[in-house]
Amino acid sequence: MPIVTVTNLAKSFGAELIFSDVSFQVDPGDRIGLVGPNGAGKSTLLNILAGREEPDAGEIAVARNVRIGYLSQMADFQPGNTLREEMLTVFAQVRQWEQELSALAQRMSAPEAQAQPAVYEQLLQQYAELQTRFEHAGGYTYEHRVSQVLDGLGFTREQQDAPFAQLSGGQKTRASLGKLLLQEPDVLLLDEPTNHLDLESLEWLEEYLSSWSGAMLIVAHDRYFLDKVVTRTIELAFGHIEEYPGNYTKYLSLREERMERRLKEYEAQQAYIARTEEFIRRYKAGQRSKEARGRQKLLDRMERIERPQDFAEMHFELSPVMDSGRMVLSARKLIIGFKKRHEPSEALFQCADLELERGDRIGLLGPNGSGKTTLLRTIIGEIPALGGHIQLGHNVRIGYYSQTHSGLDMDRTIIDEIRQVSALSEEGARSFLGRFLFSGDDVFKPIHALSGGERSRVALAKLTLQGANFLILDEPTNHLDLQSRQFLEEVMSEFEGSLLFVSHDRYFVDRLATKIWAIEEGVLIPYQGNYTEYRRFKRPLVLDKPTVEKKQTVEKKPEAAPTRNKKRTRTKTRTIEDVEREIEKAESRVKELETALSEAALQADADELMRLNEDYEQAKARVDALLSEWEELADVAS
């Protein structure tokens, strides 16, 4: 039974329709990823579900006693509290019961209570009832849970005991996430929960949410995170939603299949319409005019298939104007940090000798605050090293992307910003910016009026004009939607120069990196390979085994049981192979029906189209159900 039901939801801002006819259900234990391009209305939908905004139409029904928790980007904390004290406010009732239990224990130990059996018995009964409530509410574990969450989110003991007002913006967002997790609502609404988390905290959050018993609806641009946490995907795009079973990777596969089928249906119908219209034009005044009028009536009654809409994509490439020498960068006895006026210098990390050769693609990893951005700024010469030296190689031409977009002039328009670094005419600049999804009068917007994603696209546009052979990128995927991240991966994978980049997007690191430089406890350590290989090296396989491993072993035992039990075991257990065979048959049936639908559309057979469409929807539902079953079996086996 659903715990949240959304029916025909619609929302507009002024004359702009954001979405309409949005309907879906959230069942207990659902793990839903909400995806779609920037500006599609994902955050707006979460705000409506959380009761922070009102829809223009439709309704939301929440089951009785179901609590919805929303990750607010604005922290609602008491500035005077320490971070730990603020987390403990979640357990105010439990702590009050703890005090009452202590008071009851003191009263029972008093001589006057022990001298009166009736009074003592009454106190003992009160204590027992209160202790049951206290234990059921987690009274004996709540302090440990607070420590577990704060440690997992990367807060040091000093930060936990410091006033909340002293935390940075990113730390406050992490604190909001921690407080929400401790409240344990029945439905979690998480809008970009991975923002401001380093890789260690990201992995902790994935594990924490994987064992979460409640439902969740998550907006995130981290594909690795979505693949690990969600089991169902809802796409919000072009004002409507579409649902897909499975995680983000499965969604991409199913969406591509769905788009291909719809395009074939559209093109088949368009071909039929063109042929029919040509027949009508040719014979409408001749001997076959009656037949022509009949075909015109069929066309008039035909339900037209709309051309399927797909996401807009950037189109650009990065080309070095010249090759660098073999050695791109070398460093000796480097100490990275800050020199402060009238104060001692602050060293962040040090490293032994480093070399970066032409064609290297290096992912720079490390906790927040460890000095990743400082290293990049030291290499490009913005700040000096505290010790050692850096040497750039022959013909090295650097292109730098700042995560804060510091290279953009906020007072310029987009087109002026581009023309400042190129010899493009206005018409040429407009054409060039079209490849970065800026069209029409958008090119005359001032930089300061742009969203984070739009500024990122301007910064990428400037980067392509530099002709650099050594790209230094600081969080280039920040603010980009999932489709843009995937395209940027493609562009960077084809870049013929050298890369040094910082990113919390593990798919991005995995796809591009040939080496990892990791900052660990104040030392930069180089590793060969991508993120997966680095993680495998850092964490032995035994530590990566999920907690279901023991359960998996237990479930496998019947296979080794005596022969007389084998038949009974086979009738009860379905294997991944069984389900895969059924999926192949079901998908073959879907393809047969797709062909039949195309033929029926060409023949304009309305009755046959209706019958085939029903069979097609049933066949697709069968495939979806089998895919869900396959994923459940695969989770247990992994």
Q: Given this model, what pLDDT does residue 535 score?
A: 86
Q: Tokens for 409, please give them.
A: 């002039």
What would the pLDDT profile of 118-139 be if each residue is shown by its tens digit?
A: 888 888 888 888 888 888 888 8
What would the pLDDT profile of 310-347 be if each residue is shown by its tens digit?
A: 888 899 899 999 999 999 999 999 999 988 777 788 89
What would the pLDDT profile of 90-99 be if each residue is shown by its tens digit?
A: 888 888 888 8
Q: Given this model, what pLDDT does residue 62 score?
A: 94
- Res. 591: pLDDT tops 50: yes
The secondary structure element, H or E, covering residue 1 is none
Query: Which comes out higher in pLDDT, residue 554 or 527?
Result: 527
Q: Give the 3-state secondary structure of 403-457.
A: CCCCCCCCCCEHHHHHHHCCCCCHHHHHHHHHCCCCCHHHHHCEHHHCCHHHHHH
What would the pLDDT profile of 180-206 be if each residue is shown by its tens digit?
A: 888 888 999 999 888 878 888 888 899
What would the pLDDT profile of 402-450 be if each residue is shown by its tens digit?
A: 999 988 999 999 999 999 988 999 999 999 999 999 999 999 999 999 9
Mean per-residue pLDDT of the chain: 85
- Res. 578: pLDDT tops 50: yes
Q: Which of 204, 65, 82, 91 is nearest to 143 (CA)?
A: 91
CA separation (Å) from 578 to 13, 469, 558? 50, 51, 17
Strands 31-35 vs 215-219: parallel, antiparallel or unpaired: parallel
**Cβ neighbours for 92, distance < 8 A, ≥ 6 positions apart:** none
What would the pLDDT profile of 60-88 be if each residue is shown by its tens digit?
A: 999 998 999 998 655 567 777 888 888 88
CB count within 10 Å of CB 532 equals 12
Q: Tokens for 444, please give them.
A: 């005359």
Q: Given this model, what pLDDT does residue 600 score?
A: 60
% of residues, the chain, pLDDT over 70: 89
- Global confidence as pTM: 0.72
Backbone angles phi, psi at 139, to 5 degrees: -65, -25
- Res. 545: pLDDT tops 60: no
DSSP-assigned beta bridge partners for residue 214: none
Q: Which of 489, 448, 496, 493 is nearest to 468 (CA)?
A: 496
Strands 470-474 vs 398-401: parallel, antiparallel or unpaired: parallel
Tell me which residue has tokens 């977009």: 405
Q: Given this model, what pLDDT does residue 126 score?
A: 86
Rounded CA-CA distance 66/88 in Å is 22
Rounded CA-CA distance 89/349 in Å is 37
The string of DSSP codes covering 493-519 is HH--SEEEEE-S-HHHHHHH-SEEEEE
Q: Given this model, what pLDDT does residue 470 score?
A: 96
Backbone angles phi, psi at 518, to 5 degrees: -115, 130
Band (pLDDT 50/70/90 cuts) for residue 475 is very high
The mean pLDDT value for 371-384 works out to: 94
Q: Given this model, what pLDDT does residue 598 score?
A: 59
Q: Given this model, what pLDDT does residue 34 score?
A: 96
Q: Given this model, what pLDDT does residue 567 score?
A: 34
CA separation (Å) from 341 to 286, 345, 346, 371, 378? 95, 8, 11, 19, 18
- Please calculate the CA angle 93-96-99 and round it to the nearest 5 degrees: 155
Rounded CA-CA distance 8/16 in Å is 17
Burial class for 443, CB neighbours closer than 10 Å (0-12, 13-18, 19+):
buried
Residue type at 216 in one-letter notation:
M
CA separation (Å) from 588 to 418, 620, 626? 51, 11, 13
What would the pLDDT profile of 13-41 be if each residue is shown by its tens digit?
A: 988 899 999 999 999 999 999 999 888 89
Q: Give the 3-state secondary structure of 235-286.
A: EEECCEEEEEECCHHHHHHHHHHHHHHHHHHHHHHHHHHHHHHHHHHHHCCC
- Res. 556: pLDDT tops 60: no
Q: Tokens for 256, please give them.
A: 């591509």
DSSP-assigned beta bridge partners for residue 60: 6
DSSP-assigned beta bridge partners for residue 183: none
Q: Give the 3-state secondary structure of 307-342.
A: CCCCCCCCCCCCCCCCCCCCEEEEEEEEEEEECCCC
What would the pLDDT profile of 479-531 be if each residue is shown by its tens digit?
A: 888 888 989 999 999 999 999 999 989 999 999 999 999 999 899 999 999 99
Cα-only R_g, the chain: 30
Q: Given this model, what pLDDT does residue 260 score?
A: 93
Q: Which DSSP state fits 212?
A: -
CB 18 within 8 A of CB 41: yes
Query: Which comes out higher in pLDDT, residue 587 or 326?
Result: 326
Number of H helices, E strands in the chain: 24, 19
% of residues, the chain, pLDDT over 90: 47
Q: Tokens for 19, please give them.
A: 């979405």
**Cβ neighbours for 116, distance < 8 A, ≥ 6 positions apart:** none
The mean pLDDT value for 273-280 works out to: 91
CA separation (Å) from 309 to 4, 242, 262, 272? 29, 13, 10, 21
